[in-house]
Amino acid sequence: MPIRRSNPPPDPTALLLDYCRAFFQVGANAYARALKIGAAYAKQTADGAALAKNESTPQVLGSYLFGLHNYYLEMATVLPLAIEGHLQKRSSLQDHQGTLQVAPTRASMHSVDGKPTLLPARITDASQGWAIYLVATDRAQAQLRSPSEFTVVDVGLGRTPVFVFAIDHRQSDLGTYQEIGLALYVRPHHNGSSLPGGYFLSLVVNETFTIDASRLIWGFHKTLARNMAIKSTAGHTTFVVDDHDPTSLAIAFPRFGRTRSTDIPCYIYSLSTAGKSPAVQRTIFSRSAVAEGLQIRGDVRIRLGDIRQKNCACRGNIDSCICSMLQALQLPPKPAANGWADLLSGSFSPPSPCT
The residue among 67, 128, 170, 68 whose CA lies nearest residue 256 is 128
pTM of the model: 0.73
The whole-angstrom distance between residue 273's C-alpha and the CA centroid of its chain comes to 20
pLDDT tops 60 at residue 81: no
Look at residue 189 in the predicted model and tell me its pLDDT: 85
Tell me the pLDDT tens digit for each residue of 19-54: 445 444 544 454 455 555 555 555 555 555 555 555
Look at residue 148 in the predicted model and tell me its pLDDT: 79
Angle between helices 12-51 and 78-95 (to 10 degrees): 140
CA distances in angstroms from 302 to 61, 81, 233, 251, listed in the order given: 27, 36, 16, 5
Angle between helices 78-95 and 57-76 (to 10 degrees): 30
Mean pLDDT of 163-187: 96
**Residue 113 — left, alpha, or beta (φ > 0 → left; ψ -120 to 50 → alpha)?**
left
Tell me the pLDDT tens digit for each residue of 128-139: 999 999 999 999
pLDDT tops 50 at residue 105: no
CATH superfamily name and code, 117-355? Acetoacetate decarboxylase-like (2.40.400.10)
pLDDT tops 70 at residue 96: no
CA neighbours closer than 13 Å in the CB half-sphere of residue 290? 6
The residue among 112, 115, 157 whose CA lies nearest residue 134 is 157
